């Protein structure tokens, strides 16, 4: 295929503009400047589209982004009473949309299918809310969810929201240790899981992992007394691959049994706009994950607005986001934003390559998907398999494509645009983070001319800019650290249980700004091009993992004395994980240690964090203070010739040793 012309700009087609809420760049710009001039008026008007039991009593927005003035805080619509579940479901049923499909679900196998209307969803949520209450869950309690992408997982999330409980979804690819750590940190009172699921032909033993985690919680003095188990495997045909599922009558409850006897009426709990809605863990620069906390009111209006405008969602659309519910993408676009807009969405508990590489395109045809949102790593995987998997399906229903999770390189963009979207569908490259709640930089389908590889322009009300290493703002064209000048309703409010860490991670690096941790370039048209993380964070297959988390897992191996993890570019995953280790005295590196280290990381963090390569070294490169010079290791694995300033290294001889190791590709045995 012809490589894309990087200077080319793709303007919205008439077909897209004809239906769009915002049909020109001028209109977008006009609304943008209005929202910047008066953010309160802008968001107040939007907030009126939702149900409030009581309107906000204090200032609509109250915040401090300046550490010199005092603690950081962000409050929107304080004093307002609402319930997000009521806004997402009850209201639509009352308005006559009870029979509209809220979700189509398809499992790993193409014949595993379910669907649910808004009316039925409401009943299930009420039942589940009553179940949670009967097990002692009240407003403010934390409920851990370790489930595959299913309608039932969404029911649990919304039933928490209905009674004011706080959900903490832990991605079902995490290990028992990772689940334990999050349940303890978040003080979970109850766990909801499933018996298991399949990824292609591979069985994922969710209940066994959950049981292990529950035992670990108990052993460390944090017992969790109830575990609800959804029978996900009831629809699979691969029954011969299912091992025994552990069961303990003292704490385990069957989902089916509890739901069967619960009442389908449950009054929503009216909560303050600033009451917590959920906690979602994300990697941090230390070994400890951060419990990002989002609140009810601000997150609701921000998620809803982004769903409506970024995807130009109309009632007849079928939205399909391939993201897992365990990540923020799943929360915001499969659940909160989608339901707020009365959407009909497809959710999928499977992988794009099973039963073959045409699965996504088959789903798109069968469910008549109009809006397809996925990650560059998935697109690259499918691109490698060849275009024929795509072209043998019609895809005629598609109108809009979306990308999230990492920068999309122009050739992947081009394949997505030309082959998947048949040059008809704009690609909405949405830049955001767990912390931002929803996209903050992204095009609008009918308004924004696209440049392949750029997330384009800020959403209404967002003022991003770039600063140099000293925090000096760069005006106009340039490259630097991406920061945001002002608050928006969907920004996280704190790190659960550690507000100081929230301040020092996001506000201290460049006082007065929210710091994203990403580098970005701004071009002459004001378009933003995200370059990637500048902190010690790896982005492998769209999963953000800190080097510290991998390193602390590596250090648990009895033979490892020191460890450093860095990323290297990878054709499919975006980045791969390369680890350098120094072995303890008298230990010898061999295949057994390598296998042990890999399985240790799999157990400690999950399969997605297993390193692609492990290099044993006699010593790590360090500066005088003892800090590992990861910047140097990164350049070495990228085979870069210019290593930058290495004068602060304690032992410069290490460079030649490093080169020798990496050039040998380190298959040393
Ligand atoms: C990091 C946040 C937002 C949902 C998924 C990830 C990277 C995200 C883009 C994009 C370039 C992107 C950034 C960001 N990222 N979207 N469109 N272009 N980079 O959420 O795990 O909190 O990761 O993902 O590096 O900081 P997350």
Residue 541 to residues 180, 553, 603, 631: CA-CA distances in angstroms?
A: 24, 20, 19, 21
Q: Report residue 666's pLDDT band, with 50, 70 and 90 as the boundaries.
A: very low
Ligand 1 atom 18: residue of nearest CA: 407
- Residue of 280, 324, 431 to mutate, ligand 1, most atoms within 8 A of C-beta: 431
Strand locations in 207-352 (E): 226-230, 252-254, 271-272, 276-282, 290-295, 318-321, 344-348
| Helix orientation angle between 206-219 and 176-185, rounded to the nearest 10 degrees | 50
292 lines ligand 1 (CB under 6 A): no
d(CA 55, CA 413): 44
Ligand 1 atom 27: residue of nearest CA: 433
- Residue of 279, 335, 433 to mutate, ligand 1, most atoms within 8 A of C-beta: 433
In the reported structure, the alpha carbon of residue 405 is separated from the centroid of ligand 1 by a whole-number distance in angstroms of 4
pLDDT by residue (tens digit) across 234-281? Answer: 999 999 989 999 999 999 999 999 999 999 999 999 999 999 999 999
Quote the pLDDT of residue 587. 83
Residue 405 to residues 121, 322, 338, 573: CA-CA distances in angstroms?
A: 29, 12, 19, 11
Strand locations in 68-213 (E): 73-76, 81-82, 101-106, 113-117, 142-146, 166-169, 188-194, 197-199, 202-204
Ligand 1 atom 1: residue of nearest CA: 433
Residue 337 to residues 115, 140, 310, 543, 655: CA-CA distances in angstroms?
A: 19, 22, 11, 22, 50
Ligand 1 atom 12: residue of nearest CA: 406
Tokens 């807009």: give the residue: 341
- DSSP-derived pairing of the beta strands 142-146 and 197-199: unpaired
Average pLDDT over residues 117-131: 98
Write out the two tokens for 317: 């659309």
Burial 175-196 (b: 16+ CB within 10 A, else e): bbbbbbbbbbbbbbbbbbbbbb
User: H or E segment at 133?
Assistant: helix 118-134
Residue 539 pairs in a beta bridge with: 544
| Domains contained in the chain, CATH given | 83-351 (3.40.50.12780), 541-663 (3.30.300.30)
Residue 281 pairs in a beta bridge with: 291
429 lines ligand 1 (CB under 6 A): yes
517 lines ligand 1 (CB under 6 A): yes
Contacts for 633-642: CB closer than 8 Å, 24+ residues apart: 633/564, 633/566, 633/578, 633/580, 633/658, 634/566, 634/567, 634/568, 636/662, 637/566, 637/568, 637/578, 637/662, 638/568, 638/569, 639/663
**At CA 130, angle to CA 126 and CA 134, rounded to 5?**
170
7 pLDDT exceeds 80? no
Quote the pLDDT of residue 544. 87
d(CA 132, CA 141): 10
Ligand 1 atom 6: residue of nearest CA: 405
Q: Report residue 384's pLDDT band, with 50, 70 and 90 as the boundaries.
A: confident
Quote the pLDDT of residue 2. 46
Question: Are 196 and 233 within 8 A, CB to CB?
Answer: yes
Closest atom of ligand 1 to CA, residue 439: 3
| Helix orientation angle between 176-185 and 591-604, rounded to the nearest 10 degrees | 40
Q: Report residue 536's pLDDT band, with 50, 70 and 90 as the boundaries.
A: confident
Closest atom of ligand 1 to CA, residue 329: 4
Average pLDDT over residues 524-534: 93
User: H or E segment at 362?
Assistant: helix 359-366
pLDDT by residue (tens digit) across 628-657? Answer: 888 889 888 888 888 887 777 778 788 888
In the reported structure, the alpha carbon of residue 489 is separated from the centroid of ligand 1 by a whole-number distance in angstroms of 19
- Residue of 291, 406, 436 to mutate, ligand 1, most atoms within 8 A of C-beta: 406
Strands of the sheet with 318-321, listed across from one edge: 113-117, 101-106, 344-348, 318-321, 371-374, 400-404, 427-430
What is the SS3 assignment for 239? helix
d(CA 312, CA 463): 22
404 lines ligand 1 (CB under 6 A): yes
pLDDT by residue (tens digit) across 37-49? Answer: 999 999 999 999 9
DSSP per position, 208-230: HHHHHHHHHHHHTT----EEEEE
Average pLDDT over residues 96-106: 98
| Helix orientation angle between 547-554 and 591-604, rounded to the nearest 10 degrees | 130
Write out the two tokens for 624: 């005088």
- Residue of 283, 432, 534, 549 to mutate, ligand 1, most atoms within 8 A of C-beta: 432
CB-neighbour burial class of residue 558 (10 A; exposed 0-12, middle 13-18, buried 19+): exposed
Selected residue with higher pLDDT from 6 and 197: 197
428 lines ligand 1 (CB under 6 A): no
406 lines ligand 1 (CB under 6 A): yes
Write out the two tokens for 636: 């070495």
CB-neighbour burial class of residue 598 (10 A; exposed 0-12, middle 13-18, buried 19+): middle
Strand locations in 501-633 (E): 514-522, 528-533, 537-540, 543-546, 560-570, 574-583, 613-617
Write out the two tokens for 379: 């697109």
Closest atom of ligand 1 to CA, residue 442: 17
627 pLDDT exceeds 80? no
Average pLDDT over residues 431-435: 98
d(CA 405, CA 374): 9
Quote the pLDDT of residue 667. 43
Average pLDDT over residues 1-16: 76
Closest atom of ligand 1 to CA, residue 429: 17
Quote the pLDDT of residue 141. 98
Q: Residue 256 CA to chain centroid, in angstroms?
A: 29
544 lines ligand 1 (CB under 6 A): yes
In the reported structure, the alpha carbon of residue 264 is separated from the centroid of ligand 1 by a whole-number distance in angstroms of 38
Write out the two tokens for 478: 């340039």
In the reported structure, the alpha carbon of residue 147 is separated from the centroid of ligand 1 by a whole-number distance in angstroms of 23
Tokens 């700009």: give the residue: 9
Ligand 1 atom 14: residue of nearest CA: 433
What is the SS3 assignment for 316? coil
516 lines ligand 1 (CB under 6 A): yes
pTM reported for the whole predicted model: 0.92
pLDDT by residue (tens digit) across 559-613? Answer: 998 899 999 999 999 999 999 999 988 788 899 999 999 999 999 999 999 999 9
Closest atom of ligand 1 to CA, residue 516: 26
Closest atom of ligand 1 to CA, residue 517: 26
In the reported structure, the alpha carbon of residue 533 is separated from the centroid of ligand 1 by a whole-number distance in angstroms of 9
Secondary structure letter of residue 645 according to DSSP: -
Nearest residue to 283 (alpha-carbon basis) of 537, 514, 532, 504: 537
- DSSP-derived pairing of the beta strands 514-522 and 494-495: unpaired
668 pLDDT exceeds 80? no
In the reported structure, the alpha carbon of residue 543 is separated from the centroid of ligand 1 by a whole-number distance in angstroms of 9
360 lines ligand 1 (CB under 6 A): no
In the reported structure, the alpha carbon of residue 33 is separated from the centroid of ligand 1 by a whole-number distance in angstroms of 26
In the reported structure, the alpha carbon of residue 168 is separated from the centroid of ligand 1 by a whole-number distance in angstroms of 20
In the reported structure, the alpha carbon of residue 221 is separated from the centroid of ligand 1 by a whole-number distance in angstroms of 36
Q: Report residue 149's pLDDT band, with 50, 70 and 90 as the boundaries.
A: very high
Average pLDDT over residues 105-117: 98
454 lines ligand 1 (CB under 6 A): no
533 lines ligand 1 (CB under 6 A): yes
Instruction: List phi, psi (to 5°) of 235.
Output: -100, -5
Integer distance in angstroms from the first to the last C-alpha of the chain? 40
575 lines ligand 1 (CB under 6 A): no
Burial 308-334 (b: 16+ CB within 10 A, else e): bbbbbbeeebbbbbbbbbbbbbbbbbb
Q: Report residue 5's pLDDT band, with 50, 70 and 90 as the boundaries.
A: low
Half-sphere exposure of 219 (CA within 13 A, CB side): 9
Closest atom of ligand 1 to CA, residue 533: 25
Quote the pLDDT of residue 669. 34
- Residue of 280, 330, 405 to mutate, ligand 1, most atoms within 8 A of C-beta: 405
Residue 576 pairs in a beta bridge with: 568
Tokens 């906000």: give the residue: 56
Quote the pLDDT of residue 286. 76
455 lines ligand 1 (CB under 6 A): yes
Average model confidence (pLDDT) across the chain: 94
Tokens 């057994």: give the residue: 592
530 lines ligand 1 (CB under 6 A): yes
Instruction: List phi, psi (to 5°) of 529.
Output: -120, 110
Instruction: List phi, psi (to 5°) of 518.
Output: -110, 150
Going by C-beta distance under 8 Å and a sequence separation of 6 or more, which residues neighbour residue 318? 104, 344, 345, 346, 367, 368, 369, 370, 371, 397
d(CA 92, CA 448): 31
């Amino acid at each position: 295929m012809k490589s894309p012309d990087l200077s080319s700009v793709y303007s919205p087609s008439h077909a897209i503009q004809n239906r769009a809420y915002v049909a020109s760049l001028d209109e977008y710009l006009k609304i943008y400047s209005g929202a910047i001039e008066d953010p309160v008026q802008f968001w107040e008007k939007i907030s009126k589209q939702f149900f409030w039991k009581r309107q906000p009593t204090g200032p609509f927005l109250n915040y401090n982004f300046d550490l010199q003035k005092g603690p950081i805080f962000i409050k929107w619509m304080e004093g307002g009473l609402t319930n997000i579940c009521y806004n997402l479901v009850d209201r639509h049923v009352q308005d006559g949309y009870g029979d509209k499909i809220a979700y189509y679900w398809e499992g790993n196998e193409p014949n595993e299918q379910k669907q649910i209307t808004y009316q039925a969803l409401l009943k299930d949520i009420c039942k589940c809310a009553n179940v949670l209450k009967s097990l002692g869950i009240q407003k403010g309690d934390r409920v851990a969810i370790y489930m595959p992408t299913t309608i039932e997982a969404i029911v649990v999330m919304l039933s928490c929201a209905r009674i004011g409980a706080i959900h903490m979804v832990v991605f079902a690819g995490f290990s028992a240790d990772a689940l334990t750590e999050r349940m303890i940190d978040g003080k979970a009172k109850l766990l909801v899981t499933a018996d298991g699921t399949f990824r292609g032909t591979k069985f994922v033993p969710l209940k066994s992992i959950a049981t292990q985690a529950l035992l670990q919680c108990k052993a460390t003095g944090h017992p969790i007394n109830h575990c609800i188990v959804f029978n996900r495997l009831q629809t699979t045909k691969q029954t011969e691959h299912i091992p025994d599922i552990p069961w303990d009558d003292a704490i385990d409850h069957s989902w089916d049994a509890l739901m069967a006897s619960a009442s389908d009426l449950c009054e929503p709990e009216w909560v303050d706009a600033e009451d917590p809605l959920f906690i979602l863990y994300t990697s941090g620069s230390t070994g400890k994950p951060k419990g990002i906390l989002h609140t009810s009111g601000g997150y609701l209006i921000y998620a809803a607005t982004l769903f409506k405008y970024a995807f130009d969602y109309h009632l007849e659309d079928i939205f399909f986001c391939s993201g897992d519910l365990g990540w923020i993408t799943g929360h915001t676009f499969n659940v909160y934003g989608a339901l707020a807009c009365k959407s009909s969405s497809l959710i999928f508990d499977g992988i794009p390559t099973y039963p073959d590489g045409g699965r996504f395109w088959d789903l798109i045809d069968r469910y008549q998907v109009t809006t397809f949102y996925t990650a560059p790593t998935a697109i690259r995987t499918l691109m490698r398999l060849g275009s024929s998997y795509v072209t043998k399906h019609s895809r005629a229903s598609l109108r809009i494509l979306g990308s999230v999770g990492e920068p999309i390189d122009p050739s992947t963009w081009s394949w997505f645009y030309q082959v998947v979207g048949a040059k008809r569908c704009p690609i909405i490259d949405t830049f955001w983070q767990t912390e931002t709640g929803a996209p903050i930089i992204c095009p609008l389908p009918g308004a924004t001319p696209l440049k392949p590889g750029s997330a384009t322009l800020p959403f209404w009300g967002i003022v991003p800019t770039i600063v140099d290493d000293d925090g000096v703002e760069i005006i106009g064209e340039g490259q630097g650290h991406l920061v945001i000048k002002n608050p928006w309703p969907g920004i996280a409010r704190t790190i659960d249980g550690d507000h100081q860490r929230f301040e020092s991670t996001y506000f201290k690096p460049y006082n007065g700004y929210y710091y994203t941790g990403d580098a970005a370039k701004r071009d002459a048209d004001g378009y933003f091009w995200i370059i990637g993380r500048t902190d010690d964070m790896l982005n492998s297959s769209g999963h953000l993992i800190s080097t510290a988390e991998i390193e602390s897992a590596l250090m648990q191996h009895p033979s490892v004395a020191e460890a450093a993890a860095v990323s290297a570019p990878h054709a499919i995953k975006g980045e791969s994980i390369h680890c350098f280790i120094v072995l303890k005295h008298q230990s010898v590196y061999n295949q057994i240690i390598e296998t042990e280290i890999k399985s240790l990381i799999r157990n400690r963090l999950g399969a997605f964090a297993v390193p692609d390569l492990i290099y044993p070294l006699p010593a790590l490169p360090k500066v005088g203070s003892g800090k590992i010079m990861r910047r140097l290791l990164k350049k070495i694995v990228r085979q870069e010739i210019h290593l930058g300033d290495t004068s602060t290294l304690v032992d410069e001889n290490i460079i030649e040793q490093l080169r020798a190791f990496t050039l040998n590709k380190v298959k040393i045995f």
